[in-house]
Structure 1
């Protein structure tokens, strides 16, 4: 488990009751003036109380140790997220009150708590909350406060370091959403060779300076008596591109019930379905950031796509037809594109039609913005798509989809543990 050591800011001891110090001064003056034994007794007791409480608070601060770790390895929207906390008092004096104020930005979650510790005691507990929405959130920072039983002094120190935690969008099952199987037109091999390792080995050639050792074909090297390396074909025909329209102008709905959230759910369904089918999947989107994730196969690619989808927001200004046109410029015949948009303007369907004429397999998923309170669709997109040979499916607000957790292991590096000491 990866551990992040936290160094707290310098503790600050604050006087909460200035009257206590004032009382010591007044009693000291009165004792000198009156020379009364009773006044002296009160002076000594009050002064000792102030000094001892200050010492108690100061020592309590330096003897506290805290650790927090994520119990949940990977969370999807709607899941429970759990943390484990460990609070230790290394000192010989009890700590009657420790207040932990959690400043995580995880929506609907707070790990704030008040505890007390005996001398040399350790307490362990868990805190959990529901992941209300997708995104990258921070667990921490943490503010720790303690004080004396008389309320004269208080100590506060901050742990500014944080650890990031990703809440992935939930993966929906949409078996009725089919993507045409891409195939290579013409030769069964790509005419383009690459130095990147793909699953499509094209042949062997002599070693050249700069070739990595992992590409050496040892059997051919032994047979021929000279170093031989493998070449690979590019795999354009096996690729599926998910094109996501995140133009703010076509966003409709409120809160978690928006066209943006439904579009992201559809994208997760396509990515999961196609990666499980053994195809290389890529992602193209232009929202609050530009994302072009080249197609790759395998479970790690699914997690990469999910991580991008976790943070993408419909804050873009680029119209979807332009996104599709730019994406299609470098694609070879046989590639599949799944375009997801809530735009009621037929221009993006026309842009897909131009790609189909280049023998690129296009599938359209139209999210009806009108059902989310947005404007009505300007044209019959279904008929227009049919004329261009494009498969299209329309989704509306309120549709429910079953969810699934991937049987692939999450990426390394999570969870993280934060350890803090006073």
Structure 2
């Protein structure tokens, strides 16, 4: 509006100057016109040489952890840039790193801190630079598409030590689900040693190398704990971090980390739309695969927990303990859980009380039996203070 009024005023002044033939009026009109033209060209010339760089120190990229960004803005034009605004277009909640700076010969640097508020792929950028001339009449916008990206994992909480049946302690092997009950797998070859059976000789490689080579074997790796994560979309309630989905994912990630830190193996079966199954591994790659999955997964499953294929998968897998994480109030999944019970194997249930997250309807009333560990999780609970019970439970 100011630009329009100024242009209109110059036009009126020129018109009156022609009518009155007053030379000072012509001088003022031409000066104002030149000023308007200069104000229009100034930000365009400066914006062409403005360069922005933003670098990210991702820190420990998990929900609730801090991060830091460093911004650097410089210009190549010789014209001064008294007003340059940097605007962040990332849309990150509660994070506004932009500011207004004045550029001279040296670049302007500043840092901005924030906290991860959501898991998943977090993008920092694009960025918009707005250049204005000293009079504030014209602006020029430059969009910088460069992005920094961080994969943010769910928050890892300390958990109480899980109870494991006595039959799983060292020196006692369960009758079902023990690794010794499964045939060995060939893992490589070595030179033949006197006493090796003929069945161990790898004849093709022996012929190739001109000497006897024997196969080496490993027992198939079994999970000490299989985590079953219910990702059916209709059973999850709440919003953002205060939702059953985020609590369930954070709980599953915390459980997997605790099991791994104790030197045991852990696998995952999820009821998402792909029926995800992540088996344990002797290397750290699968450990990272678990966290990567927890960072990106969503409640996109369509089948209820009782009808999901997870139970059929569990029956075919060796197992020492099964931990189910669900907010489902449908008691049908209890029968499916009992169907995969193996002698000496532990059953653990983390039940998320959906009503505490705003779900309507009645709570679940169930009796898991004396050999099943139950943890009831409500909104606002501290995971490290969860207490298990083996009694019949009615949530009210």
The bucket for the TM-score relative to the shorter chain is: 0.7 to 0.9
The counterpart of 1:122, out of the listed 95, 99, 107, is 107
Residue 396 of structure 1 is matched in structure 2 by: 378
Provide the rounded CA distance (Å) in 1 between the counterparts of 2:320 and 2:2.
Answer: 70
Gapped regions of structure 2 (runs ≥ 5): 189-199, 386-396
Contact 1:141 1:161 in 2 (8 A): yes
Contact 2:128 2:141 in 1 (8 A): yes
1:77 aligns with 2:63: yes
Cα RMSD (Å) of the superposition? 3.7
Residue 58 of structure 1 is matched in structure 2 by: 44
**TM-score normalised according to structure 1 size:** 0.73
**Structure 1 residue 319 displacement after superposition:** 0.9
Q: Secondary structure, in 3 states, of the residue corresponding to 2:48?
A: helix
Provide the rounded CA distance (Å) in 2 between the counterparts of 1:33 and 1:122.
Answer: 51
Contact 2:67 2:113 in 1 (8 A): yes
C-alpha distance after superposition, 1:175-213 (max 9, x if no partner):
3224565978678384263679xxxxxx884667xxxxx
Q: Secondary structure, in 3 states, of the residue corresponding to 1:284?
A: strand
Provide the rounded CA distance (Å) in 2 between the counterparts of 1:81 and 1:36.
Answer: 65
Contact 2:223 2:280 in 1 (8 A): no
**TM-score normalised according to structure 2 size:** 0.78
Decide which moves more: 181-190 or 346-355: 181-190
Distance 1:30 1:381, change over 3 A: same
Contact 2:225 2:266 in 1 (8 A): yes
**Structure 1 residue 113 displacement after superposition:** 1.5
Gapped regions of structure 1 (runs ≥ 5): 1-14, 197-202, 209-219, 404-422
Provide the rounded CA distance (Å) in 1 between the counterparts of 2:225 and 2:177.
Answer: 16
**Structure 1 residue 31 displacement after superposition:** 5.9
Residue 93 of structure 2 is matched in structure 1 by: 107
Decide which moves more: 228-237 or 62-71: 228-237
Larger radius of gyration: 2
Provide the rounded CA distance (Å) in 2 between the counterparts of 1:17 and 1:205.
Answer: 87
Listed as ranges, the matches of 1:363-374 within 5 Å are 363-374=348-359
1:175 aligns with 2:160: yes
1:321 aligns with 2:306: yes
C-alpha distance after superposition, 1:128-170 (max 9, x if no partner):
2222333332211212111111223210122244333232211
Provide the rounded CA distance (Å) in 2 between the counterparts of 1:270 and 1:91.
Answer: 56
Distance 1:86 1:186, change over 3 A: closer
**Structure 1 residue 27 displacement after superposition:** 5.5
Distance 1:141 1:228, change over 3 A: farther
Q: Secondary structure, in 3 states, of the residue corresponding to 2:112?
A: strand
- Structure with bigger strand share is 1
The counterpart of 1:98, out of the listed 84, 95, 103, is 84
Distance 1:36 1:396, change over 3 A: closer
